[in-house]
Amino acid sequence: MLSSVLVPLVISALLVSVIVGVVVAGVFLVSVRAAARSSRPLQKALWGSSALLVVVATCLGSYVAARTLSLFAPPPAPLVNVPAPVPNSLTLIMARCDVHSYGLIVVAVHAREGSVAWQSSLEHVPCALGRLTVSGTTVYVLGQDTTAGANGVWALRTTDGAVLWHSILGPAASAPDASGIGTPNFPLGPPVLADGLIYVRVQTLSAGSDRGQLSALRTTDGSRLWSQALDAFDADASAQPLAAGGGLVLLGARDGSLRAFAAQTGALVWRVPLFGSGTTPEPVLAAGIIYVVGCYLGPVTALRARDGTLLWRLAAEIGGCLSPLVVTGERLYVLTHLRLRAFAAHDGRLLWDEDVLDPGSAGIPPGGTARVAELGGVVYFSRGSYLDALRASDGHRLWRHHSNSNVGFHTPVAFQGVLFVSTYVAYPHYFGVSCPPNCEPPEALDALSSADGTIYWRLSNPASDPLFLISGAP
């Protein structure tokens, strides 16, 4: 905000600019009319030159005025760099993209002060095709090795980023057909961990078909336990049709059905048609219940996990959901273009419905989705340049953190009153005034107070979603 001393100066400058503009416009019109009425060539040229000089002088004056007014622009908020009130042993794990090779880099950051603990470069894995998850003391990366021409899974140690094992899933392209051209096979992540196994899916599309492969790997050494070739396979990288737990692996299909496979054998246990063809169910498993949504063309549905029996279904479809379903012990959250809705997880009853999004906010985070998380009785969600905190019981807004963002925030994670969130921000330059050293960096990782959104520290680090918290100092 402008200070009380600067406000009168800015208002005065604007009034002077308006008055000068009116005078200049009058002089310009008089000069043009005089040039048009003059019968002598010399006078016509002089009056025409006067009009041109007025235009040039006006442009220069406007530029000087703009540079002057830029001095009164609100400066960026100074960066706060204090330790966050978390244990020294707490570590953040994330992925980022190498700006030169575009290879995937796994990064570990000390959560207390925001310093980098270690970095492990998988330079032959394009960051666009690499997805990771963390379990215990191991980071698992699903990606494509462009040098070897194969899809695979890498296991890294969380203490130092050393590679523990590498498992090859198959070639990065199918065998050439009669024309000599092979079809690319893309890994689709992130990998899902449950029951001591890693479940991964790979697109194996061929001409005119929706084919894919679902595999289960042992976490100890990456050896393959089983694989299933599947049809009606959804190769949309932004979709999240895979979930696992309780001895089952759940996978949504493009034909609108949800399939459950036995975790140890890969055998089909049950298949339930839910939506129309072209709408892939995206399941979330919690406490023996499967919650499913089909964005745009499918209502939220709850099924019993062991046999796929329908428990309840919302009457209305969710039009344009922006976030994957978020399920806590008591509530289920659905975020649409303009509203955040909370439902009772056990019966689908609407708890509250808040018009909390700003239609004019600057876009949505990378990947095309907004983000919702409930942590400690508070709902945090992001869209555009805002990170909001709402009371989970009734949707009342507690605080809002506004960033100079032109893209948005990723999903926050929390520990003992501290939020960690990666953000893409761009300082708005004023008429060519460069960003000072303490302004917000183009991409960053923030540690915020969950009570009011105050920043503890900020690390300039282009991180991707999601973030993982582990306990144990590297």
Enter the pTM of the model.
0.75
45-82: b (≥16 Cβ within 10 Å) or e: eebbebbeebeeebeeeeeebeeebeeeeeeeeeeeee
More confident residue, 240 or 3: 240
Token output for 44 = 């016509």
Single-letter residue type at 139 = V
Cis peptide before 466 (omega within 30 of 0): yes
Q: Which long-range contacts (CB under 8 A, 24 or more apart) does 422-430 make?
A: 422/94, 422/446, 422/461, 422/463, 422/464, 422/465, 422/467, 423/387, 424/365, 424/366, 425/385, 427/76, 428/404, 430/70, 430/73
Fill in the amino acid letter for 197.
L
Pull the structure tokens for residue 335: 């975020």
pLDDT band at 226 (very low <50, low <70, confident <90, very high): very high
pLDDT band (50, 70, 90) for residue 56:
low
Q: Say which range, 93-97, 112-116, 406-410, 421-425, has the weakest mean pLDDT.
A: 406-410
118-131: per-residue pLDDT in tens? 999 998 898 877 88
Q: What is the pLDDT of residues 135-173, one digit of tens each?
A: 989 999 999 888 888 889 999 999 999 999 999 988 877
**Residue 7, SS3 per DSSP:** helix
pLDDT computed for residue 327 by the predictor: 87
Q: How many Å apart are CA 186 and CA 201, to the nearest integer?
A: 9
Say which range, 1-15, 81-95, 122-136, has the weakest mean pLDDT: 1-15
Rounded CA gap, 28 and 51, in Å? Answer: 5
Per-residue pLDDT tens digits for 371-405: 678 888 898 887 666 788 899 999 998 988 776 54
Q: Does residue 281 or residue 68 have the better pLDDT? A: 281
Q: What pLDDT digit, counting tens, does each position of 397-456 carry?
A: 898 877 654 556 777 888 888 988 887 654 443 333 344 444 555 577 889 888 888 889
**Beta strands at 212-218 and 397-402: parallel, antiparallel or unpaired:** unpaired
CB-count exposure of residue 234 (10 Å: 0-12, 13-18, 19+): buried
Query: Is the predicted pLDDT of residue 350 greater than 50, yes or no?
Result: yes
Give the chain's radius of gyration (CA, Å).
29
Convert the pLDDT of each residue in 254-312 to its tens digit: 888 999 999 999 999 999 999 888 788 889 999 999 998 876 566 789 999 999 999 99
Tokens 């890498």 belong to: 154
CA distance 471 to 111: 10
Residue 181 phi/psi, 5-degree rounding, is: -115, 130
Q: CA–CA separation, 139 vs 163, rounded Å?
A: 9
Q: Smallest Cα–Cα separation from 423: which of 390, 450, 387? A: 387
